[in-house]
Amino acid sequence: MKQVKTFAEYMNDETRVMPAEKEKINFEIDLIGKMIEAREEKGLSQRQLAELSGVKQPAIARLESMRSTPQIDTLFKILNPLGYTISIVPLSSENKAAGQ
């Protein structure tokens, strides 16, 4: 009953039902890695990056130690002076991390 046609397919396709958490964790690991690497590569301290990005040092420290998940605004503010941004990509092409 019920007009659950194509919907049922998605509900039964377990490969799509809940791996969002895994995605998020992978993303955060990638994020933290690139953040720290880029920051140190540029010889910036957390306080200096705080000035450049407009995000306070405690917030940066919390992110780098994975004690919080950044909001999108914060993410762009921090990534920008580090030379990164984020973009939306199809899952099929499985995060092509090694950019460039």
CB 85 within 8 A of CB 99: no
For DNA, the binding residue among 12, 15, 65, 100 (CB under 7 A) is 65
Six-digit token string for 32: 């933290």
Alpha carbons within 13 angstroms on the beta-carbon side of residue 89 total 13
Contact pattern for a copy of itself over residues 60 through 99, marking x by CB under 8 A: ---------xxxxx-xxx-xxx-xxxxxxxxxxx-xxx-x
Query: Tokens 């002076």 — which residue?
Result: 81
Which residue ranges make up the site for a copy of itself (CB under 8 A)?
3-7, 10-11, 16-21, 23-24, 27-28, 30-31, 34, 42-44, 48, 51-54, 69-73, 75-77, 79-81, 83-93, 95-97, 99-100
